[in-house]
């Protein structure tokens, strides 16, 4: 009789523990990618989607929702103003998001308006052309820009002042070219940018190396320069020269991560933070990150919040140098 009672109590305890775990798990996990499918925000959400499910941190697939507009502005405003307390929703951000925040491009909301959750990896800016482009090196492109800046059509994710614009502006400044003379076409995200480049609608794309790897591997795209300190590891990118080694002292790391709404409960925020802490420490996640050509960069919670505030302050100074402050 005692044995039966003990077994019953243990089963009840396990059931309660299971219910507690399920109660902690978001019922409708969702990742908002603030652009059209195919770019860096999409990649960031898909990485988290795979890692969370593979590690059994969630029992159902996380939905990925696309919310293009203003290279993150529409999503940021929607989360802060309309979806502020959603405990199951995370939204992707990048260094480009922080640059836009530094310039006040997200409207009345600044970097203090959300809860910064986790940075899960980094990439680097890149200058891309089609594989059959006349530009074989970064020097070839710079020579053409010096001869007639208006003849080279450069595509960028976002408008003047955005991250992709800033990458080419920094190259132009290093080469002694006035960035305001460059001819830009604004796109909404990396997927649209790649489509325009491969379709011949633009000649050059200021992009992200992680977005570009599938096109490099297919042979349809060539990278003139990566904006990293040193050449990157990996079979697809190891032979691509940096801008620095070609004589242009420009680097542009692209941090990728997530934020949550300002009124998300402490319990919901803690679940996500603890979950990402576990993921970022695992070898399985490192393998998933590497498959997407992202590089290690891991910050969560208060550490990420401090990083974001410092980075935004630095980007405000850079924006002022280019006359972009509002």
Does any domain span residue 161? yes
Residue 312 pLDDT > 50, yes or no? yes
Tally of domains within the chain: 2
Share of the chain above pLDDT 90, in %: 76
Does any domain span residue 102? yes
What was the pLDDT predicted at 235?
83
What was the pLDDT predicted at 188?
72
Identify the domain boundary among 233, 252, 271.
252
pLDDT in tens, 238-262: 999 999 999 999 999 999 999 999 9
Q: Are residues 117 and 82 in the same domain?
A: yes
CATH number at residue 243: 3.40.190.10
DSSP 129-189: EETT-S--SHHHHHHHHHH-GGGSEEEEESSTTSHHHHHHHHHHHHTT--GGGSEEEEESS
Q: How confident is the model at residue 9 (pLDDT cuts 50, 70, 90)?
A: very low
163 with 95: CB under 8 angstroms?
yes
What was the pLDDT predicted at 192?
86
Does any domain span residue 10? no
Q: Are residues 180 and 145 in the same domain?
A: yes
Q: Are residues 147 and 75 in the same domain?
A: no
Identify the domain boundary among 220, 252, 284.
252
Residue 29 pLDDT > 90, yes or no? yes
Crossing angle for the helix pair 190-198 and 40-54, to the nearest 10 degrees:
120
Q: Are residues 59 and 141 in the same domain?
A: no
Q: Report d(CA 88, CA 31) in Å as an integer.
A: 9
What was the pLDDT predicted at 10?
47
Residue length, the chain? 326
Residue 2 pLDDT > 50, yes or no? no
Q: Are residues 57 and 136 in the same domain?
A: no
The residue-averaged pLDDT of 75-93 equals 97
Look-up: residue for tokens 């305001």? 180
Q: Are residues 128 and 114 in the same domain?
A: no
237 with 293: CB under 8 angstroms?
yes
Q: How confident is the model at residue 55 (pLDDT cuts 50, 70, 90)?
A: very high
Does the pTM surpass 0.85? The reply is no
Does any domain span residue 317? yes
CATH number at residue 271: 3.40.190.150
Residue 139 pLDDT > 80, yes or no? yes
Average pLDDT across the chain, whole number: 90
Residue 92: φ, ψ to 5°: -75, 145
The residue-averaged pLDDT of 135-160 equals 93
The whole domain housing 216 covers: 124-252
Q: Are residues 85 and 187 in the same domain?
A: no
Does any domain span residue 108? yes
Does any domain span residue 4? no
pLDDT in tens, 197-208: 999 999 999 998
What was the pLDDT predicted at 111?
97
Q: Are residues 159 and 86 in the same domain?
A: no
Does any domain span residue 18? no
The residue-averaged pLDDT of 210-228 equals 93
Identify the domain boundary among 196, 223, 252.
252
Q: Report d(CA 295, CA 262) in Å as an integer.
A: 28
Q: How confident is the model at residue 326 (pLDDT cuts 50, 70, 90)?
A: low
Does any domain span residue 129? yes
């Amino acid at each position: 009789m005692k044995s039966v009672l003990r077994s019953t109590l243990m089963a009840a305890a396990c059931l309660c523990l299971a219910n507690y775990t399920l109660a902690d798990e978001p019922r409708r996990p969702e990742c908002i990618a603030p652009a059209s499918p195919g770019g860096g925000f999409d990649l960031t959400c898909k990485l988290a989607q795979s890692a969370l499910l593979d590690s059994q941190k969630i029992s159902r697939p996380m939905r990925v929702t696309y919310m293009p507009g203003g290279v993150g502005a529409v999503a940021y405003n929607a989360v802060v103003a309309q979806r502020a307390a959603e405990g199951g929703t995370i939204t992707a951000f990048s260094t480009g998001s922080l640059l836009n925040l530094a310039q006040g491009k997200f409207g009345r909301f600044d970097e203090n308006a959300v809860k910064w959750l986790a940075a899960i990896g980094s990439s680097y800016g890149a200058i891309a052309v089609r594989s059959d482009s006349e530009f074989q090196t970064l020097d070839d492109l710079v020579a053409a820009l010096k001869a007639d800046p208006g003849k080279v059509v450069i595509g960028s994710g976002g408008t003047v002042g955005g991250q992709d614009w800033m990458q080419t502006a920094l190259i132009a400044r290093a080469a002694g070219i006035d960035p305001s003379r460059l001819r830009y076409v604004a796109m909404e995200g990396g997927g649209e940018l790649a489509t325009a480049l491969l379709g011949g609608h633009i000649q050059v794309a200021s992009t992200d190396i992680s977005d570009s790897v599938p096109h490099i591997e297919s042979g349809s795209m060539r990278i003139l320069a990566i904006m990293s300190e040193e050449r990157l590891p990996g079979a697809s990118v190891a032979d691509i020269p940096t801008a620095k080694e070609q004589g242009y002292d420009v680097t542009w790391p692209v941090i990728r991560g997530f934020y949550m709404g300002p009124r998300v409960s402490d319990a919901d925020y803690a679940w996500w933070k603890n979950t990402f802490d576990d993921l970022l420490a695992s070898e399985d996640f490192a393998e998933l990150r590497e498959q997407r050509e992202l590089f290690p960069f891991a910050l969560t919670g208060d550490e990420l919040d401090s990083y974001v505030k410092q980075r935004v302050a630095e980007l405000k100074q850079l924006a002022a140098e280019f006359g972009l402050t509002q």
